Chains A and B, each alone.
Chain A
Amino acid sequence: QQQVKQSPQSLIVQKGGISIINCAYENTAFDYFPWYQQFPGKGPALLIAIRPDVSEKKEGRFTISFNKSAKQFSLHIMDSQPGDSATYFCAALNTGTASKLTFGTGTRLQVTL
């Protein structure tokens, strides 16, 4: 059962553009939503995370928007750069019962010149 749905599967954005990746979850017990960035040959690295008590969190060029009623959250990468080309995973966690991250299927982002 896929509890976190992620789209799109792949994304091509021009340098300087905005990259938007969307995720939707089913389990209302999830209360921590991180985004991970993975480069080829490397492990996932935490990019930014949000809890459902806020609707938006911004760190530099990366912003998470969170809609609790719709059970959706998204990652916006402003002024996308070629160095942002990587695979991005959203994830969700119920901090009260377990620490296992439930990941989305990933989005392969390519930022072109």
Chain B
Amino acid sequence: DSGVTQTPKHLITATGQRVTLRCSPRSGDLSVYWYQQSLDQGLQFLIQYYNGEERAKGNILERFSAQQFPDLHSELNLSSLELGDSALYFCASSELAGNGNEQFFGPGTRLTVL
């Protein structure tokens, strides 16, 4: 158990809908990362927050957004969902923002868009 929690574990929804994925980092970790894992794209970095502020952005679609709250939990919002958004979404956390600080991954949220 990494100490990172993600809810829900599974989400099934329809195209065009909007969903919110939630992540609670390990106690004491200030940095949160979101990754998408799909069969064709592998593990792709989406976005990073550090202590409430956006720190780095990867291949995140404009339909997707994220935020980190004062209690350090983070939410990933996915809107206007398409079939291709079906994937595993992982949240990871680390104590600091960089310098190879070990990232601890949560168990993921499996999103299925029908």
Residues of B within 8 A of A101 (CB): 33, 35, 43, 45, 103
B45 touching A100, Cβ below 8 Å: yes
Within the complex, the shortest CB–CB distance from B40 to chain A, in Å, comes to 10
Of all chain A residues, which has the CB nearest B55? Answer: A99
Within the complex, the shortest CB–CB distance from B112 to chain A, in Å, comes to 15
Say if the beta carbon of B48 comes within 8 Å of chain A. Answer: yes
Q: How many residues of B contact A (CB 8 A)?
A: 28
B22-58: contact bitstring with A at CB < 8 Å (1 yes, 0 no)? 0000000001010100000011110010000001101
Q: How many residues of A contact B (CB 8 A)?
A: 25
Chain B interfacial positions (CB closer than 8 Å to A): 2, 4, 31, 33, 35, 42-45, 48, 55-56, 58, 90, 92, 94, 97-108
**Apart from the given pairs A34-B100, A98-B56, 8 other A-B contacts in the complex at a CB distance below 8 Å:** A43-B92, A44-B105, A46-B103, A49-B100, A93-B100, A95-B99, A100-B45, A106-B43
